[in-house]
Structure 1
Amino acid sequence: MPGSFPPPSSPGMAGLRVPSAGSRLMAAGSHRMNASTATKPVPGPREMMPAPARPDTRERLLAFAFAPSDLLVEVDENGLITFAAGAFPSRYGLAPAEAVGTAVERLIAPEDRAAMQAGLAHLALKGRLRPVALRLADRQQSICAFAGLAIGNADCQRFCLTFGPLAAPLPETGARASDAEGFGRIAEARLRDAVAAGRPAQLALLEVEGLAEVSVMLGRESREALLDRISSTIADAAPAGTQSELGGGRWALLHGGEANVETICRAVEALLRERAPASSAPRVTGTELRLAAPGFSTLQQVRALRLALDRFAAAGRAGLAAAGFAKGFSSFLGTLAGQAESLRSRLQRRGFRLAFQPVVALADRRPHHFEALVRPQSGTGAAETPQSFVTLVEAAGLSAELDLAVTKLASDSILATRSTAVAVNVSGMSIQDPSFRTSLEQALDTAPELRGRLLFELTETAEIDDLSAARAAIEALRGRGFAVCLDDFGAGAASLRQIKQFEVDYAKIDGSYMRGAETHPRDRELLAQMADLCRAVGARVIAEQIETEAQAAIAIELGIEFGQGSLFGKPGHLPGLVGR
Structure 2
Amino acid sequence: MNLGSRLLGMAFASADLLFELKDGRIAFAVGAGPVAGIDPASAWSGRPLSEVLDVQSACELTDNLAALGSGRRSAPMEIRVVTGDGRARRASLRAFVLPEIAPAISCALSWTGPAFVLAVTTEPPILDARGLISRLEDVMTSPGADNGLSVAFVEVPGLDTDSDEHRAASARIESELQAASLNGASACRLSADRFALMRGADDLTDLVRTVEAAAAAEGLSLSATTATGDLNGAESAVAVRTLRLALDACLKDGVAAGASFGERLKETVADADRFRGIVRAREFHLVYQPIVSLESGAMHHFEALARFNDGPRAPVAQIAMAEELGLIEGFDLAVAEKALVQMRKAGFGRAKIAINASALSLTGDAYVENLLRMTAAATDVRDRLLVEITETAAVADLEAANRRLAVLRDAGFKVCIDDFGAGSASFDYLRSLQVDMVKLDGVFVHEIATEQRARTLATHVIQLCADLGVATVAEMVETQAQADALKALGVNYGQGWLFGRPGPTPTSQTQSRPVARRRGEVVGWG
TM-score (norm 1): 0.44
User: Larger relative CO (CA 8 A, sep 6+): 1 or 2?
Assistant: 1
Largest Rg, 1 or 2: 2
TM-score normalised per structure 2: 0.48
